[in-house]
């Protein structure tokens, strides 16, 4: 149907050279070839079909893309995949173990800590990072250190309650 000029043109601007990157994603060794301009977020979503990690702004302004890299929470939208060669990545898909939900996942359900669910994987990964950091004790501290994850549905009080529940569960286990 198109009358486009796709015929008879030769590209003169070559696509970027792709680079082989090895990542440990949720405990699995993954190799992928990506262009330098591919972010970790797009690599996960488009190359590895791990769409649990969300794109909400693509500019580090919302936190929906939060994943754990070597145990630390970061914005995968501002991270080039090539720079994380060899890193250990944990996404929301990697939190449940053998079908059992992570305490944070269960707590988010219990406290209805989401509505549309789009910020949720980022919230949960961020909360996992927060708990690992061990700096947040009070509700005020949780609120402040979770402020990099926007929830437009406005589930914040339930998110704080869910994190407090999971902190309790996880402290009980260790």
Partner 1 sequence: MINFQYARANDVADAVRMIATDPTAKFIAGGTNLIDLMKEDVERPSGLIDISRLPLKGVEETSDGGVRIGALVPNSDLAWHPLIEQRYPLLRNAILAGASQQLRNMASTGGNLLQRTRCAYFYDIATPCNKREPGSGCSAIGGINRIHAILGTSESCIATHPSDMCVALAALDAKVHVTGPAGERVLAFTDFHRLPDSSPQTDTNLHPNELITAVELPAKGFPANYSYLKIRDRLSYAFALVSIAAAMELEGGTIGEARLALGGVAHKPWRDSAAESALRGQPANQTTFEQAADILLRDARGYEHNTFKIDLARRGIVRTLTQAAQATPQSQSDKKIR
Partner 2 sequence: MVCHDGNWAPGLGISRREVLTGTVALGAIGSGRPSYADETQRPATALRQDNQVSKSMTLYIGTPTSRVDGRAKVTGEAKYAGEFNTSGLAYSSVVESTIPKGRIVRIDTSDALRVEGVLDVLTHENRPRMAGTDQAWKDDVAPEEGSPFRPLYDDKIMFSGQPIALVLAEEWEIARYAASLVRVEYEKQAFVTDLYQQRDQAFVVKKPDKPHGDAGRAFAAAAVRHEAEYFIPTEHHNPMELFASTAVWDGDDKLTVYDKTQGVQNVQRYLCSVFNKKSDDLRVISPYVGGAFGAGLRPQYEAVLAVLGALALERSVRLVLTRRQMYGLGHRPATIERLALGAKADGTLDAVTHEAIAVTSQFEDFSRNDTGWAALLYKSANAKYVHRLARLDVPTSCDMRAPGAAPGVYALESAMDELAVALKIDPVELRLRCYSDRDQNEGVPYTSKQLRECYRQGAVAFGWDKRSAEPRSMRDGSELVGWGMATGVWEALQMPAAARIVLTANGHAEVSCAASDIGTGTYTILAQVAADMLGLPIENISIKLGDSSLPQAPVEGGSWMAASASHAVATTAQEVRGELLALAKAMKGSPLADAKFEDTMLADGKVVSKQDASRAVSITDAMRHGAVDRIEKEKTNSFPDDSSHARNTHSAVFAEVKVDEQLGVIRVTRVVSATAAGRILNTKTAHSQIMGGVVWGIGMALHEETVFDHRFGRIMNANIAEYHVPVNADVQDIKVVFVDEPDTIINPLGIKGLGEIGIVGVAAAIANAVYHATGKRVRDLPITLDKLQRST
Using CB under 8 A as the binding rule, the residues of this chain from 48 to 87 that contact partner 1 are 58-60, 63, 66, 72-75, 78-80, 82-83
CA separation for the pair 128, 163 (Å, rounded): 9
State the pairing for strand pair 72-75/19-25. Answer: unpaired
Q: Which of 26, 39, 158, 165 binds partner 1 (CB under 8 A)?
A: 39
168 makes contact, choosing from partner 2, partner 1, none, with CB < 5 to 8 Å by partner type, with none
110 makes contact, choosing from partner 1, partner 2, none, with CB < 5 to 8 Å by partner type, with partner 2
CA separation for the pair 136, 64 (Å, rounded): 20
> Is 154 a binder of partner 1 (CB under 8 A)?
no
# residues near partner 1 by CB under 8 A: 36
Chain mean position to CA 163: 17
- The interaxial angle of helices 120-133 and 103-110, nearest 10 deg, is 130
Asked if 148 and 126 count as a contact pair (C-beta separation under 8 A), the reply is yes
> Is 5 a binder of partner 2 (CB under 8 A)?
yes
118 CB burial (10 A radius; 0-12, 13-18, 19+) = middle
CA separation for the pair 50, 56 (Å, rounded): 15
Q: Return the SS3 of 22.
A: strand
Q: What are phi and psi of 46, to 5 degrees?
A: -95, -30
> Is 66 a binder of partner 2 (CB under 8 A)?
no
CB of 24 to partner 2, least distance (A): 18
Using CB under 8 A as the binding rule, the residues of this chain from 132 to 171 that contact partner 2 are 142-144, 146-160
Q: Which of 23, 129, 163, 165 binds partner 1 (CB under 8 A)?
A: 129
Binding site for partner 1 (CB under 8 A): 13, 15-16, 19, 36-37, 39, 58-60, 63, 66, 72-75, 78-80, 82-83, 126, 129-130, 133, 135, 138, 140-141, 143-145, 147-150
């Amino acid at each position: 149907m198109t009358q486009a000029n796709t015929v008879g043109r030769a590209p003169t601007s070559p696509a970027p050279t792709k680079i082989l990157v090895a990542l440990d994603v949720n405990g699995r060794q993954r190799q992928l070839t990506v262009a330098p301009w591919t972010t970790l977020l797009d690599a996960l979503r488009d190359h590895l079909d791990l769409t649990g990690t969300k794109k909400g702004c693509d500019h580090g302004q919302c936190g929906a893309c939060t994943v754990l890299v070597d145990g630390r929470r970061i914005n995968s939208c501002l991270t080039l995949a090539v720079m994380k060669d060899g890193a250990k990545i944990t996404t929301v898909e990697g939190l449940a173990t053998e079908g059992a939900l992570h305490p944070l996942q269960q707590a988010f359900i219990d406290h209805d800590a989401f509505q549309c669910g789009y910020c949720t994987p980022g919230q949960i990964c961020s909360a996992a990072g927060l708990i690992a950091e061990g700096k947040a004790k009070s509700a005020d501290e949780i609120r402040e250190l979770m402020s990099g994850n926007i929830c437009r549905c406005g589930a914040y009080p339930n998110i704080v309650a869910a994190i407090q529940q999971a902190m309790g569960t996880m402290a009980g286990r260790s």
